[in-house]
Structure 1
Amino acid sequence: MRPRPLPFTVLALAGTLLLGACGGGDDSDGDAGAGTVAAPGACAIGDLTVEAGPAAEAPVAGDTGNVPVNLTNRGEECVLDGFPGVRLEGGDTSVDVPADEAATAQQLTLAENVTATFTLTYVRGEGVDADQLRVSLPGGDQGAGLPWSYGPVAAAGGAPEASVSAFQQAGD
């Protein structure tokens, strides 16, 4: 018995299906690479709203206080990777606040209108008479200045008795 030839329409349909399945078409329609999403870049201080408080203020010398700092992204999705840079300033004095040695930095991706937070913990006492808190982002040299109204910060050997936590996602 002799095999019968397939009709032309069946052959044409099979060829079209094969070419489509193999990606053998022309990519000149502009969606080559479609589905690839670029990773967000580092957050820029100018795209964030930076606010401090409400604080659990240290009432007297020797007491410990905590000042939460919230950073809300007002730009495109971005990444915070590392610890915040924090500096206490007042008069001719300017001291950097170190990261909490027990904290571990994590990378956070902030969508638009999403908030990250960190906490500055300090001991009230003689040493640094600050009137401003300057916050910068990892790798950034610019900072946002906020008023400091939580009293003087104790210092030993020129270093403030204070530390900052890692960034954390605020809210849910």
Structure 2
Amino acid sequence: MRAVPITVTALAAALLLTACSGGDDSGSGDEGKAAGSPATGSACAAGDLGQEVGPVDAAPAAGDTGNVTVTLTNKGKECTLAGFPQVILQAGDDSVPAVQDEAGEPQTLTLPAQGTATFTITYVRGKEGDEKSLAVKTVKYGLADVSSTADFPWAYGAVALKSKGVPDATVSVFHLAGD
């Protein structure tokens, strides 16, 4: 399996994100916090995180489901990740957001220095060249309360559309690696 490098780019105007962070003086040492619970540290910024795409379980044919995992490693001081990353699938001039996975319970995670977290994009592969498919070339994602996004090339085939502008793709909440 090959990791794909990710470059950090300027925040797209469509990605205005909100933060969910606060202070935690409890000293409980909890790695993950429930949504609405106070969390230690400030919001993580894409520039302070090392990013790696993989493992990838690419959908082999139209109609099949695939998964792309993005792993984030904290290169700075302790910070927080809140809820869902904002994921945009880009195909030429078309940009459509992935849907948040309804099975995911939004939470705020404390990511220690050198700690890792992941999120997963699950998609249904579409038929190449079909009007009910999006020929994705790039995936862009943003984190809460930051002024940058990260992107990576998409090499896993077209993504099926549920309807116009609605991809058959979901994004998971952030998970601490190993959870």
TM-score (norm 1): 0.74
Partner of 1:162: 169
> Helix, strand or coil: the match of 2:95?
strand
Cα displacement string for residues 10-45 of structure 1 (whole angstroms, at most 9, x for unaligned residues)? xxxxxxxxxxxxxxxxxxxxxxxxx99994111111
Partner of 1:148: 154
1:108 is aligned to 2:109: yes
Query: 1:134–1:143: 8 Å Cα contact kept in structure 2?
Result: yes
Cα displacement string for residues 126-154 of structure 1 (whole angstroms, at most 9, x for unaligned residues)? 42111111111124352101111000000
User: Mind listing any 5+ residue stretches in structure 1 that lack a counterpart?
Assistant: 1-34
Partner of 1:48: 49
Aligned length: 138
Query: 2:81–2:109: 8 Å Cα contact kept in structure 1?
Result: yes
Query: 2:118–2:175: 8 Å Cα contact kept in structure 1?
Result: yes
Partner of 1:7: none
Cα root mean square deviation, aligned: 2.0
Query: 2:50–2:72: 8 Å Cα contact kept in structure 1?
Result: yes
Runs of 4+ in 1 over 6 A off after TM superposition: 35-38
Q: Which moved more, 1:55-64 or 1:128-137?
A: 128-137
Query: 2:123–2:159: 8 Å Cα contact kept in structure 1?
Result: yes
User: Mind listing any 5+ residue stretches in structure 2 that lack a counterpart?
Assistant: 1-24, 28-38, 128-132
TM-score (norm 2): 0.72
* Superposition pairs of residues 21-36 of structure 1, within 5 angstroms: none
Choose between structure 1 and 2: higher strand proportion.
2
Cα displacement string for residues 39-78 of structure 1 (whole angstroms, at most 9, x for unaligned residues)? 4111111101122112110000000000011111101100
CA distance in 2 between partners of 1:36 and 1:67 (Å): 36
Query: 1:48–1:72: 8 Å Cα contact kept in structure 2?
Result: yes
Query: 2:40–2:110: 8 Å Cα contact kept in structure 1?
Result: no
Query: 2:81–2:143: 8 Å Cα contact kept in structure 1?
Result: yes
Q: Which amino acid aligns with 1:154?
A: A
Give how far 1:100 is off. Answer: 0.5
User: 1 or 2 for the larger relative contact order (CA 8 Å, sep ≥6)?
Assistant: 2
